[in-house]
Amino acid sequence: MENRPPSSSGSSTSGGGPRRMTPNDFYFGKLLGEGSFSCVYLAKEVRTAKKYAIKVCEKRLILREKKQEYVKREREVLNRLSGRPGFLGLYCTFQDRSRLYFVMTYACNGTLLSLLSRPSFTLDCARFYAAEILLALETMHDLGILHRDIKPENILLDQHMHVLMADFGSSKLDYQEEVEQPKNEEQPEASASKANDAPPSPTMSSARKHAEQVLGKSMEKANDEDNDSGTDTDDRHPSSRSAKRRSFVGTAQYVSPEILTGTPSSPASDLWSYACTIYQMVCGVPPFRAASEYLIFQKILRCQVNYGEGFDPTAKDLVTRLLQIEQCKRLGAHDQPRYCTLRAHPFFRGLQFEQLRTTPAPIPPTEDTVLHGETAANVANSYFPEGMKPGLDDRQLTRLLDFKLASVGVSDEDEDDDTDGGGTGSRSGSVGSAAASDTRTDIATPRSGTATAAPMKFTKSFTDGTSIDGSKHDTATLAMWEPFAEGEKILKLGFVHKRKGLFARRRLFLLTTGPRLIYIDPVNMVKKGEIPWTRELSVEAKNFKTFYVHTPNRTYYLEDPEGFALKWCDCINEVHRKAFLNSVETNGRT
């Protein structure tokens, strides 16, 4: 692996060659974010005291899910873009027995998404940042790189509040740029037979299922042109080359129609998500919004966009010209030089593109701001205290949890105070202790006009030792947890880490036919609470370990230590769908 020392002078051995970096060359100060297969930490180099963002990838998870190509591709993209204006710099990479480490630029002012919530974010700000993103797109596409997941969350801000493009895990390298034929022209059947695509992105596997439902057909067709990785194909089964699914990447609200339909992506695919980002910068929300991914995809495939009365007309014209179903019809898709028509659009009138990176940003950075309103002094004192040890062993990970615990002001005793009551179908009490008396203010109640969940009948439950996802548990294990289900059948159970920030509690989760999602303290054998179960409940897989359960008043951050977050999401989705389908049928009969 490449190994360029972060420090400008470089580290070397006595023989004059570069010294290989290790985790012990850095202090790890704070978790900045989590992604597929990885966590990103704020770190400080021991020798120079320079701050970096270090992406730490777990080898075990990468190998188990056969995602080596995703990691290699991201590293190659970062190498190509490192040192270019508007992109994170990759300073060095190294590894130990269990992890890979990417040492990158620390974007100290957070994400563009966090900036959008500021009252000071005006139309001029949207214009400035849209122009900087356009410059980044020009650079990427000229270098043969498709990002394929452009959204405000993946656009970072440097110390001067200028754009740094990030998160290239979904990117594509060395694409073949072709002129797209209009839909009414016949496409050669041979082009669909050369298939060999990479498996779907882990965060979007459930989204693909929804897309298939929208389209009413399978998305098994493939095409060599849009292949992500040929190395995952099993040579023992040649037929798998044509049956392999097209790579499904991106984020639901920003994904382009061609990725949904399984047709080849191109630079114009990034123009679609770029348009979605401009829309969000102008009015604060993405253009495609609905109660579920299924409905979002329907809107995307029909290009159903609502522009409010106050939406700037020149911005509307730009977004409308970019949000075209056919890639070839998107503004700038065939520009030579690249994106000259976009630069000339009235929305960018008055901007000097060549001087943007040296122009002061329209929103100045808060004085000494480093992260979420914290000053540089606070970060130095809180996350890099005197006497701390370098490295990222178990002791250091525990220290990171303690820092987060202190920053949110939660004590060891009161962190897990989630006796929620559970919303619909909630029941008080626990096995082994009295019910907690306090009531949380974030308990969701069904909104007016929404149906309550109806009891369900499942052919599979733990009555035969097998859950709805096929996992098995012995009779003794089931007997231990059945009293918490209070007569309901257990559909799935498992240990899950329930997080508040970085602090996590190990809980035993039960999904029952109530339907209910109950969590239990397995040490004290006490029911701690339930996640409110209403029509508005939804789940989101962040990666193979982490998943979110969204309720109207709160998001629950959960982590399956075994890496089966997708199974949890599938099971909860299935139960939720059946529960409210039953309720509709019951109401219809009455």
CB atoms within 10 A of CB 587: 11
Known binding residue 55? Answer is yes
Residue of 149, 197, 228, 570 marked active site: 149
Q: Parallel, antiparallel, or unpaired: how do β-strands 38-45 and 51-58 relate? A: antiparallel
Evaluate whether 45 touches 52 at the Cβ level (below 8 Å): yes
Token pair of 185, please? 């022209």
228 is catalytic: no
| CA-to-CA separations, 538 to 451, 488, 550, in angstroms, rounded | 15, 22, 5
**Dist. CA 17–CA 30, nearest whole Å:** 32
Residues in the chain: 590
Phi-psi region of 86 (alpha: psi -120 to 50; beta: other; left: phi over 0): left
What is the largest distance, in Å, between two alpha-carbon atoms of the chain? 85
**Dist. CA 271–CA 279, nearest whole Å:** 12
Nearest Cα to Cα of residue 401 among 542, 499, 524? 499
CB atoms within 10 A of CB 254: 27
Distance of alpha carbon 435 from the chain centroid: 36
Q: Is the dihedral of CA 220, 225, 230, 232 positive or negative?
A: negative
The amino acid sitting at 527 is K
**Dist. CA 512–CA 541, nearest whole Å:** 20
What residue has token string 């540089």?
376
**Dist. CA 185–CA 193, nearest whole Å:** 18
Q: Parallel, antiparallel, or unpaired: how do β-strands 490-500 and 516-521 relate? A: unpaired
Strand locations in 304-423, DSSP E?
369-371, 374-375
Query: Which residues have C-beta within 8 Å of that of residue 559, sequence separation ≥ 6?
Result: 496, 497, 499, 504, 545, 546, 547, 565
Helices (H), 472-536: 475-485
CB atoms within 10 A of CB 382: 14
> Which residues are annotated binding-site positions?
55
> Which residues are annotated binding-site positions for ATP?
55
Active site residues: 149
